[in-house]
Amino acid sequence: MANVAIVGATGAVGQEFLKILAERKFPVDELRLLATQRSAGKQIAWHGRVIEVQETTHDSFKGIDIALFAGGSVSTEYARSAVESGAVVIDNSSAFRMDPDVPLIVPEVNPEDVAWHKGIIANPNCSTIIMVVALKPILDLAGIKRIVVSTYQAVSGAGREGIEELEAQVRAWTKDEEIINKVFPYQIAFNLVPRIDVFGEGDYTKEEWKMVKETQKIFHIPEMAVTATTVRVPVMRSHSESVNIETERKVSVEEIRQALAKAPGVVVIDDPAGDRYPMPLFAADTDEVYVGRIREDLSIEKGFNLWVVGDQIRKGAATNAVQIAELLVK
């Protein structure tokens, strides 16, 4: 049994942590729910218990074995205090992902990296997690020389506010009222915004660089060629990705399909004749990564196209973190 703290317990990812800990029957002894001063005092029912939310402070982690951080600036403020109190931190923010002393883990891909943590383990970016779960079986089968990925990311990736903004804009559109945007740089209803997070080096966004650098780190191939374009789309939940790869070794589509079908955490839905393929509508509230539209890229000798979909709140965030915690308790 483990004493577990959830930092950011009242937010979208924090609430998903609670749900997944119960679903997966994680061996929780004490569960400590931490949030901002504004949320302190709230009562949350969980698994037959009623737990009062406490304000997060540097002294909140005494007696805690595993601290699940839901993300945000709170990680840089309190993660080190949690480690000093004896907890192992599993962090969902981007604060520690590229720290060479912090393992960046997707349990279906690189579970062995949990062995060298020094108190903090990073949960990768949601889009990265979804992609690498789908690509690991192909990497093992044929090697991967190059990855080109374009994402179609749901508004819930921007939190509850993103969902509320899309809903409000759709309502305003149906009533011919003014459409107001605050969360996204432009109207998201009936639109696509090809910019997630701020622009950085080479006019790539921070989200795009996360996919490049995190993939190289998780696969332990720093020279792997990866390029990304990340796009916000008017979908409530679950991210989709168009992934083009060039393999090191020539293999067939059927070999790739079979490798994916056997892989942990992957579901293949690839039936063009029956018009079946993954879609975010049906991936929502599940933990698997769905792969379809598997076909040769006819423009190069060892190229393939994949369509990949996953729930970015569950597998892309909370479920992945709880799976890491399961590696620790094992």
- The H or E element spanning position 304 is strand 303-310
Rounded to whole angstroms, the Cα distance separating 24 from 35 reads 23
Instruction: Decide if 126 is catalytic.
Output: yes
For the chain, the maximum distance between any two Cα atoms, rounded to a whole number of angstroms, is 61
Confirm if 239 and 316 have CB atoms less than 8 A apart. Answer: yes
Q: Which residue has the tokens 């931190």?
A: 89
Interior CA angle at 40 toward 37 and 43, to 5°? 160
What's the Cα-to-Cα distance from 167 to each of 163, 176, 182, 190, 197, rounded to whole Å?
6, 14, 13, 11, 21
Buried/exposed 82-113: b ≥16 CB within 10 Å, e otherwise: bbebebbbbbbbbbbbeeeebbbbbbbbbbeb
Amino acid at 121: I
* Residue 14: alpha-carbon gap to chain centroid: 14
Confirm if 166 and 193 have CB atoms less than 8 A apart. Answer: no
Any alpha helices (H) in 220-318, and if so which ranges? 253-262, 280-283
**Number of Cβ within a 10 Å radius of residue 253:** 13
Catalytic residue, from 47, 58, 117, 126: name it.
126
**Number of Cβ within a 10 Å radius of residue 303:** 17
Rounded to whole angstroms, the Cα distance separating 97 from 74 reads 15
**Number of Cβ within a 10 Å radius of residue 275:** 6
Instruction: Decide if 58 is catalytic.
Output: no
Catalytic residue, from 58, 117, 220, 239: name it.
239
Mind telling me the catalytic residues?
A: 126, 239
